[in-house]
Chain A
Amino acid sequence: MSKNPPNYISTTNACKLCTPLGASLAFKGIEGAVPYLHGSQGCATYMRRYIISHYNEPIDIASSSLSEKHAIYGGGANLKLGLMNVTQKYRPQLIGIATTCLTETIGDDVKSLLCEYDKEVQGEKPIMIHVSTPSYSGTHMEGFHNAVTSVVKALAGRDGEQDMGSGVINILPGFVSPADIRYLKEIAADFPLKATILPDISDTMDGAAAEVYEKIQPGGTPISAIAAMNNSVGSIEFGHTMGKDSSGVLLAEKFGVENTRMPIPMGISATDNFFDCLSRLSGLPIPEKHQAERGRLVDAYVDSHKYIYGKKAIVYGEEDLVVGLTAFLAEIGVMPVLCASGGKSGKLAEMIQQVTADVLPEQPQVHEGMDFYEISEMAEELAPDLLVGHSKGYPLAQKLSIPIIRVGFPIHDRMGGQRILHIGYRGAQQLFDLVVNACIAKKQSDSPVGYSYM
């Protein structure tokens, strides 16, 4: 199915980010949480800059700000000082502590240091959650998932006092947009069913203007809701490429909460699957409003199918996003010719096969561990009609003079990345219109005639 891609030693224009960035974003989806990086100062600042440029929201990530002497003698003292300062200034409910390659390599034992801190420091202390995120191992997605798992491991079933009522469904959406999370909440409310969505960046990374500046942006999954996730009737976990120790698996193994893993629901087939699952877990019918949205989407697919049939697409980004996008593109008649990711789960090709086998006449090339140099090289031969992925593919789209459909993270060259809707019938509708109109626009601008309607 797949040719071997060139195997270069160096990486040029990576198609992945580092683990602590993913962990920081996951922690941002918890109410009252402050992400904290145990490492040197630069990591936190670089990631803040990178994240701000996409969401246009403040993101305060604290740091141990380690210097040379700490690298030699250990960063414990600075970790404790940093935690005290964050506690004093932000009054957080939770501090999510992610390590960096520096502290992983010098061998700081963060777990013991946190135990020491707990004994040494008197007074009110936020919950401390630690996740190991050496950046030489995995991508931002491993960091993201591992942070969520650490939170669930530490909090679910913790107090026994939580009562969210019966029939709660856990939704573990992975790394999707604030708009996606808002839409998930709307779907849950429409059923109506109670859902605990973890993490929830819908407000924290896409906040409303307010009169008072909050030190920690309001919103995020309430800690009490996380603590009660062990009582839920089931979990729905988006994505297949994370490891066996995902939060959904953990809740299943430790507390017997049924876990359903599914690809990120992108396109009709995947979204049907998602709604069916919600319906099954809640015992409620799919709300009419969403049935109608599905109907309009089918109508739109039919109206526009001819503009896009057979168009060749290169899809890149996080593995699970690539799977979702590929399933969607395949079902509307676009031919994915290369599915590429910087991640290396070892499962990408299998997942692509699973979601497209019944619709694609020919499987696309699927490659993990890719960078944009390799993608560009393969693109020369593949001659795609469009790119689908985050904004770092723009130079390639420009070189090939083809449209790029901006999805996922980061979107650094357009406004509104935080408001892109990817999932569900509504997300599919928006992406579909984008794809169709990009193809029409290309045809229009390439034509000397100046057609004023297509």
Chain B
Amino acid sequence: MELLKDREKQIYRTGKEPFALSCDQDSLAGAVSQRACVFCGSRVVLYPIADAIHLVHGPIGCAVYTWDIRGALSSGPELHRLSFSTDLQELDVIFGGEKKLKRALYELIERHSPKAAFVYSTCIVGIIGDDVDAVCREVSSKTNIPVIPVKSEGFMGNKRAGYTAACNAMDQLIGTGDTTGISPYSINILGDFNLAGEIWLIREYFERMGVEVVANITGDGRVADLQRCHGAALNVVQCSGATMELAQIMEDKYGVPFFHVSYFGIEDMAQALYDVAEHFKNPEIMEKTRQLVKEELEKLLPKLAFYKKALQGKKAAIYVGGSFKAFSLVKTLRLIGMNVVMVGSQTGTEQEYRELAEITDPGTIIVDDANPLELTSFLEEQKVDLFVGGVKERPIAYKLGVGFCDHNHERKEILAGFSGMLNFAQEVYSSVMSPVWRFTYQNGASRGKKSNITIANPNE
């Protein structure tokens, strides 16, 4: 396929030329990027905080397209599942939206008694110049709850800038709560959003190790936990793009150290637990961790063997929001016998792409900020059997007659942790091995002729 000239630098093929890939740029006009905007970045990070109201200040679109879209579960309040908007109208745009924002905040705070309110600025608020900070300060002082502006005007950068806005917003909560009684063996979980209940599984692992979890940031998150989370001994950061900056802020301000983990796949999941155990230098915790990993693997590995055999040699492509997740996916897909032939993300950094290029096989396509036509051509060129991505990638896979695994916000299956690894293998298997591909035309089928795709028998 002919590429747009301005896009060529954001695509790299491993093996031949030395690594070079440009990224973290504004999306190219007319290229149909799969990215969203600053607002999206901050909204996805803060969304799971379940006892706060999330008020989107702007016309209706931004609020309505983010209504209950993530599978981020709460064990208690569910304010995050409501879509609040100031629904700005033409007159508000002309005369300013501050008054409406203020009245909306009072109304919603009185109605829902939230523990905090986040106010998201959308594109138009940045243009009409509402003083959102001043409104938030005033409402906060009158209602005695934190009312926090999130500077998420859509045009003020790309999705990564939204992560920064979210981290800055959370920074305003942290350090205001009481930290007494927190164990010296304590952590905050950063960068897990409790999709399908994943953070509960991860918390359970840490609890079995004897480690206290102070705050979930942000899956099943609570304002009070955030307020006291500077009392934790360690920040364990997943999804580096989203909450990395918060970890850095907390290290600078409160001296809380941090490191990266990933909970996807056996290798990374076990490493995450061992890293935490290692950090605390407590033999009892380390022993419990070894025991935990052993127990989990004993249950998991025999079951995985079947999938590995069935999926051996199949080819996979990955396109996800943050490239950090792509690392785990490359390893995880290998573990079930598959070869990754394309990896891309919306918001990866040069360092992340460089490392991806190092761990993938020669001939792998690495792509930043791709679009449907590029993805289509890469999938066709590499003749993949599976595409791992989000909702926007799904129809691309299906129209090409390729299996698909949703690894994004909307999924309803746990894919993290040891049991998540099994779910992942099952989901990949159920798409790649479905008999429906015998009818799709790309696989050589036509009316009266089914393609010769082999279907493995799970009972063999």
A325 to B442, CA, bound (A): 41
Residue from B31, B84, B396, B399 in contact with A11 in the complex, judged by beta carbons closer than 8 Å: B84
Q: Does B62 contact A (CB under 8 A)?
A: yes
- The answer for the CA separation of A45 and B4 in the assembled complex, in Å, is 20
Partner of B84, one of A12, A82, A139: A12
Flag if B36 contacts A45 (CB, 8 Å): yes
- Indicate if B28 sits at the interface (CB-CB under 8 A): yes
Partner of B373, one of A48, A79, A89: A89
Chain B, residues 287-306, CB within 8 Å of chain A (1/0): the string is 00000000000000000000
In the complex, the answer to whether B38 meets A10 with C-beta atoms within 8 Å is no
Q: A11-B87, A105-B93 are in contact. Are A17 and B27 (CB under 8 A)?
A: no
Closest Cβ of chain A to B390, distance in Å, is: 8
Task: Report A30-55 CB contacts with B as 1/0, cut-off 8 Å.
Answer: 00000010011111111111101100
What's the Cα separation between A82 and B371 when bound, in Å? 14
Residues of B within 8 A of A18 (CB): 59-61, 64
When each residue 345-380 of chain B gets 1 if its CB lies under 8 Å from chain A and 0 otherwise, what string results? Answer: 000000000000000000000000001110010001
Complex CA–CA separation, A211 to B399 (angstroms): 9
* Candidates B29, B40, B60; contact of A45 at CB < 8 Å: B40
Count residues of B near A (Cβ-Cβ below 8 Å).
75
Contact between A101 and B36 (Cβ–Cβ < 8 Å)? no
CA of A50 to CA of B87, assembled, Å: 19
Most chain A CB within a 10 A radius of its CB, from B58, B103, B104, B123: B123
Number of interface residues of A (CB under 8 A): 72
* A115 interface residue (CB < 8 Å to B): no
Q: Does A64 contact B (CB under 8 A)?
A: yes
Contact A211 B441 (CB under 8 A): yes
- Is A5 part of the contact surface with B, judged by Cβ < 8 Å? no
Let me know if B391 is at the binding interface, CB within 8 A.
yes
Contact present for A17 and B64 (CB under 8 Å): yes
- Is the CB–CB distance between A105 and B127 below 8 Å? yes
In the complex, are the beta carbons of B123 and A102 less than 8 A apart?
yes
A residues less than 8 Å from B34 (CB atoms): 45
**Residues B30 and A209 in contact, CB atoms below 8 Å apart:** no
A11, B63: Cβ atoms closer than 8 Å: yes
Chain A 99-118 residues near chain B, CB threshold 8 A: 100-102, 105-106
A135/B33 in contact, CB under 8 A: no
In the complex, how many angstroms separate the beta carbon of A346 from the nearest chain B beta carbon?
Answer: 15
Verify if B182 is at the interface (C-beta below 8 Å from A).
no
Interface segment, one of A67-75, A153-161, A174-182, A331-339: A67-75
Given A58-B396, A209-B399, A213-B380, CB of A13 within 8 Å of CB of B82? yes
> Which of B137-145, B153-161, B233-241 lies at the binding interface?
B153-161
Nearest CB in chain A to that of B376: its residue: A213
Q: Assess the B32–A63 pair: CB atoms within 8 A.
A: yes
Residue B128 interfacial (CB < 8 Å): yes
Q: Are A11 and B60 in contact (CB under 8 A)?
A: yes
Interface centre among A44, A78, A136 (most CB of B within 10 A): A136
| CA A431 to CA B197, docked complex, whole Å | 36
Contact residue among B63, B104, B392 (Cβ-Cβ distance under 8 Å from A52): B392
In whole angstroms, what is the CA distance A12 to B64 when docked?
Answer: 9
A36 to B30, CA, bound (A): 8
Whether B399 pairs with A42 at a CB distance below 8 angstroms is: no
B67 touches A13 (CB 8 A): yes
Q: How far is the CA of A89 from the CA of B370 in the complex (A)?
A: 14
Instruction: Report if A383 contacts B (CB, 8 A).
Output: no
A85 in contact with B40 (CB, 8 Å): no
Establish whether residues A68 and B155, one from each chain, have CB atoms under 8 Å apart when the complex forms.
Answer: yes
If the complex has contacts A42-B40, A45-B36, A209-B440, are A58 and B395 also in contact, measured as CB distance less than 8 A? yes
The digit string for A194-216, where 1 denotes a CB below 8 A from any CB of B, is 00000000000001011101010
Chain A residues whose CB sits within 8 angstroms of the CB of B114 once the complex forms: none
Chain B 102-135 per-residue mask, 1 if CB under 8 angstroms from chain A, else 0: 0110011000000000000011101110000000
Task: Judge whether A67 and B155 touch: CB under 8 Å.
Answer: yes
Closest-CB distance, B77 to chain A (whole angstroms): 15
Known: A102-B124, A137-B89. A46 touches B65 (CB 8 A): yes
> Does B450 reach chain A (CB closer than 8 Å)?
no
* Known contacts A12-B83, A209-B399; A46/B32 CB under 8 A: no
Cα A442 to Cα B81 in complex, Å, equals 27
Whether A11 lies near B86 (C-beta < 8 A) is yes
List chain A residues, Cβ under 8 A from B14.
none
Q: Does B149 contact A (CB under 8 A)?
A: no
Using Cβ atoms and an 8 Å threshold, which residues of chain B touch A16?
A: 60, 64
Q: In the complex, which of the residues A10, A39, A78, A137 has the most CB atoms of chain B within 10 Å of its own CB atom? A: A10
Determine whether the beta carbon of B29 is less than 8 Å from that of A65: yes
Q: Which residues of B contact A20 (CB under 8 A)?
A: 61
Interface residue? B204 (CB, 8 A): no
CA of A211 to CA of B447, assembled, Å: 12
Rank and list the top 7 A-B pairs by shortest CB-CB distance, nearest first.
A42-B37, A18-B61, A85-B30, A82-B30, A82-B29, A211-B441, A10-B104
Would you list 24 pairs from A and B whose C-beta atoms are within 8 A, ordered by A residue? A9-B104, A10-B86, A10-B104, A14-B63, A14-B83, A21-B61, A40-B37, A40-B154, A41-B35, A41-B36, A41-B154, A42-B37, A43-B37, A45-B35, A45-B40, A67-B26, A71-B127, A79-B29, A82-B29, A85-B6, A89-B373, A101-B59, A102-B155, A207-B399
Seed contacts A13-B82, A42-B35, A65-B28; 20 additional CB < 8 Å A-B pairs:
A11-B87, A14-B85, A40-B154, A41-B37, A42-B62, A43-B154, A45-B37, A60-B372, A60-B373, A62-B32, A63-B30, A85-B4, A89-B31, A90-B373, A101-B59, A102-B123, A135-B59, A213-B380, A215-B373, A392-B67
